[in-house]
Chains A and B, each alone.
Chain A
Amino acid sequence: MKIVAVTACPTGIAHTYMAAEALEAAAEEAGHSIVVETQGSAGSTPLTATQLAEADAAIFAADVEVRDKDRFAHLPLVAVGVKKAISGAPGLITQAEDAAANAPARATAGAPAAAGAPAGAKAPAGPGAASKVRAWLMTGVSFVIPFVAAGGLLIALGFALGGYQINLPEDAPLYETILSGGFDAGSLTAWGALAFGIGSAAFNFLVPVLSGYIAYAMADRPALVPGFVGGAIAVTTGAGFLGGLVSGFAAGGLVMWIKTWRVPRALAGIMPVVVIPLLSSAVVGLLMFVVVGRPIAAATEGLTNWLNGLSGTNAILLGLLLGLMMCFDMGGPVNKAAYTFAVAGLTTPSPTALTIMAAVMAAGMVPPLAMALATVVRGSLFTEAERENGRAAWLLGASFISEGAIPFAAADPFRVIPSIMAGGAVTGALSMAFGATLRAPHGGVFVVPLMGNPLGFLVAVVAGTLVATALVLLLKTVARRRDDGTPVPVGEAPTEAAPAGASSSPSSTTPAGATA
């Protein structure tokens, strides 16, 4: 278990540190990890966002007001006077264990099982449970962001240097061919292939890292393995980041549950290193391959067939539909069905196929661009990490790397995904209406010179971006107001009995998405 604590006393030179020392010793004795923020006169090192997000419980041992209490609002809390921590630290650790044991039980009860419709999110969720889920998500997201930025920018660089052909054809990409031969340092294309290859390697980690660190936030180190393995299977089966959210929550919830088992003493020692990772990986792997993977494969195939049967449909309507699909799961099955449909048309280029390709690329550029714009317009609605990611997202969006929006979508799926889908729909429909055409399957603004009616294309992208930005800011502002309207006193967090919160788990979107 992970505990965060704050100690503080009137003078700030003695009790603060004695309490910290006592808590650290008691936590270690009980086999937990603890980070104590000593709000004393020797300066205090503030708890990091990650430490706060990963914590299972908080202890305040203070005779003066704890600074920035709202950081702990999502955690079950044990609050006592500072002397109590010095004389009875082990008791406080036990209390924190109890508080944490009550809290996660309600928060995860429904998360892995998640069968509810996304509409369930609108049910008044218990703030304790909902913010717990959000904290787990944010842990995963905070680890993913550097991968998105580094990988995405390298891929964009690859396109810029090597041209859009660098990833063609799909089954034996040019970059792999170039990299498997001798490296020609004098060739720009070779450098482009190199950048693309490295970026792709980084991108392959997106979903496993997201899944792995959600599980880690929930159930600590033993959950890393099933989280990563489940995320990797989500990649293999094409389940995308929504599949990764499912595997992360499933792995975390499963390990939480296994940890409550009473095992013989002889076995206890190898539980975290052998038994838990083995057992949970097997279960999560089965879940991801059989329960999640198969329906997703079927859904992708179904969508593709359906799209192929749509020939002759109103072009604008088709653009709208493809736009919605492109922005639903950024690299997941629905996005892939739309994208593959467009690329397949390029092999037998008809004028219609070229407009479809343009609409699909335009819509796919919207999510990162909209998120980048949103972080600039109203930065206060986003976390520091998200604002950082927003900066990289400009270039990712311009390069048609939709994955740049994954951290935003994973952190707040119910507000972000509908917003960017609406923006994508506007862009897709407009691009079709303007009759923009494109012969290249990738490249974003780098292939604007190859387009027919590039101005129409760009107008479509800008319009959709503005729509998505406005919507996401509106939804986030409304949510913020509602949160402010029902403040939760920190001390009451442990007593929140709110099973409804579990239904707001983002993983509940995936079954719905898989059958979309």
Chain B
Amino acid sequence: MTTSTALITADLVDLDLPAGDRAAVVRSLAERLVAAGRVTDLDQFLADIEAREAQMPTGLEGGIGIPHCRSAAVTAPTLGFGRSAAGVDFGAEDGPADLVFLIAAPAGGGDAHMTVLAALARRLVRSSFKDTLRSATDAAEAADFIAKEVSA
């Protein structure tokens, strides 16, 4: 990949998400994307996320939430990753998620841009990928691991 910006960096990782409902947790991760310059308009972005969530909840079995959207407010394909000790309900049948992947895709992103997100999505179903993230001890370690995985 020759994207100028990495999919994820340490400041987009929050290994200790504040307790709260889905909206609060997504907002807190989204604020990191805004701070990193990946999202230009927080409200627009959150509205797009919410619109996708309304179609069908993004919670998956195994404690995963993947709020995501394509949004005009996004500048580059970006992943925000958070871990919640308390758990956040993303509508999965087997209960709340402890791993939250906030996937932001630019609205007009070309196919080449999107392959990194496709690679990420493929990793999300591998239990070893989730296990590593559950046991990560600091944000940089988690970000490095993800970045390495999706570029492989």
Counting CB contacts under 8 A, is B148 at the interface? no
Question: Given contacts A13-B105, A13-B114, is CB(A63)–CB(B56) below 8 Å?
Answer: yes
Q: How far, in whole Å, are A86 and B115 apart by their CA atoms in the complex?
A: 19
**Interface contact B56-A86, CB-CB below 8 Å:** no
Minimum Cβ distance to chain A for residue B3 (Å):
13
Q: How many A-B residue pairs have CB under 8 A?
A: 73
Contact of A13 among B56, B118, B126 (CB under 8 A): B118
Q: Mark A237-263, 1 if CB is under 8 A from B, else 0.
A: 000000000000000000000000000
**Interface contact A21-B105, CB-CB below 8 Å:** no
**Interface contact A16-B121, CB-CB below 8 Å:** yes
Minimum Cβ distance to chain B for residue A43 (Å):
4
Counting CB contacts under 8 A, is A290 at the interface? no
Which of B27-35, B60-68, B135-143 lines the interface with chain A? B60-68
**Interface contact A42-B60, CB-CB below 8 Å:** no
Nearest chain-A residue to B69 (Cβ)?
A11
**Interface contact B121-A83, CB-CB below 8 Å:** no
Chain B residues with Cβ below 8 Å from A22 are 125
Chain B residues with Cβ below 8 Å from A11 are 52, 68-70, 105
Q: How far, in whole Å, are A16 and B61 apart by their CA atoms in the complex?
A: 16
> Which A residues, 1 to 49, have Cβ-Cβ distances below 8 Å to chain B?
10-11, 13-18, 20-22, 25, 38, 40-43
> Which B residues, 113 to 151, have Cβ-Cβ distances below 8 Å to chain A?
114-115, 117-126
Q: How far, in whole Å, are A136 and B117 apart by their CA atoms in the complex?
A: 37
Counting CB contacts under 8 A, is A177 at the interface? no
**Interface contact A42-B118, CB-CB below 8 Å:** yes
**Interface contact A14-B117, CB-CB below 8 Å:** yes
Counting CB contacts under 8 A, is A383 at the interface? no
Nearest chain-A residue to B68 (Cβ)?
A14
**Interface contact A14-B111, CB-CB below 8 Å:** no
Question: Given contacts A21-B122, A41-B70, A43-B111, is CB(A13)–CB(B117) below 8 Å?
Answer: yes
Interface size on A, as a range, is: 20 to 34
Contact of A42 among B61, B62, B69, B117 (CB under 8 A): B117
Counting CB contacts under 8 A, is B109 at the interface? yes
Question: Given contacts A41-B105, A41-B109, A43-B114, is CB(A14)–CB(B124) below 8 Å?
Answer: yes
Counting CB contacts under 8 A, is B15 at the interface? no
**Interface contact B121-A13, CB-CB below 8 Å:** yes
**Interface contact B60-A83, CB-CB below 8 Å:** yes
Minimum Cβ distance to chain A for residue B125 (Å):
5
Minimum Cβ distance to chain B for residue A358 (Å):
60
Chain A residues with Cβ below 8 Å from B55 are 10
Counting CB contacts under 8 A, is B8 at the interface? no
Counting CB contacts under 8 A, is B12 at the interface? no
**Interface contact B118-A17, CB-CB below 8 Å:** yes
Chain B residues with Cβ below 8 Å from A13 are 68, 70, 103, 105, 114, 117-118, 121
**Interface contact B111-A15, CB-CB below 8 Å:** no
Q: How far, in whole Å, are A15 and B58 apart by their CA atoms in the complex?
A: 9
Interface size on B, as a range, is: 20 to 34
Nearest chain-A residue to B94 (Cβ)?
A87
**Interface contact A18-B124, CB-CB below 8 Å:** yes
Nearest chain-A residue to B57 (Cβ)?
A83
> Which A residues, 59 to 108, have Cβ-Cβ distances below 8 Å to chain B?
63, 83, 86-87
Contact of B114 among A20, A41, A63, A83 (CB under 8 A): A41
Minimum Cβ distance to chain B for residue A192 (Å):
51
User: Which of A11, A40, A83, A87: most chain B Cβ within 10 A?
Assistant: A11
Question: Given contacts A11-B70, A42-B115, is CB(A17)–CB(B52) below 8 Å?
Answer: no
Chain A residues with Cβ below 8 Å from B103 are 13-14
**Interface contact B125-A86, CB-CB below 8 Å:** yes
Chain B residues with Cβ below 8 Å from A87 are 60-62
Chain B residues with Cβ below 8 Å from A18 are 60, 121-122, 124-125
Q: How far, in whole Å, are A83 and B60 apart by their CA atoms in the complex?
A: 8
Q: How far, in whole Å, are A21 and B124 apart by their CA atoms in the complex?
A: 9
**Interface contact B60-A86, CB-CB below 8 Å:** yes
Chain A residues with Cβ below 8 Å from B56 are 10, 63, 83
Chain B residues with Cβ below 8 Å from A83 are 56, 60
Q: Mark A340-354, 1 if CB is under 8 A from B, else 0.
A: 000000000000000
Q: How far, in whole Å, are A21 and B125 apart by their CA atoms in the complex?
A: 7
Nearest chain-B residue to A83 (Cβ)?
B60
Chain A residues with Cβ below 8 Å from B52 are 10-11
Minimum Cβ distance to chain A for residue B59 (Å):
10
**Interface contact A15-B114, CB-CB below 8 Å:** no
User: Which of A13, A22, A38, A83: most chain B Cβ within 10 A?
Assistant: A13
Q: How far, in whole Å, are A404 and B121 apart by their CA atoms in the complex?
A: 48
Chain A residues with Cβ below 8 Å from B115 are 42-43
Could you show 14 A-B contacts with beta carbons less than 8 Å apart? A10-B52, A11-B105, A13-B68, A13-B70, A13-B105, A14-B68, A14-B103, A17-B121, A18-B60, A18-B125, A20-B122, A21-B121, A25-B126, A87-B62
The 3 closest A-B pairs by CB, nearest first: A17-B121, A42-B114, A43-B111
User: What residues of chain B have their CB less than 8 Å away from a CB belonging to chain A?
Assistant: 52, 55-56, 58, 60-62, 66, 68-70, 103, 105, 109, 111, 114-115, 117-126
Q: Can you add 10 more A-B contacts, CB < 8 Å, to A11-B52, A86-B125, A87-B61?
A: A10-B55, A11-B69, A13-B68, A17-B119, A20-B122, A41-B109, A42-B114, A42-B118, A43-B115, A83-B56
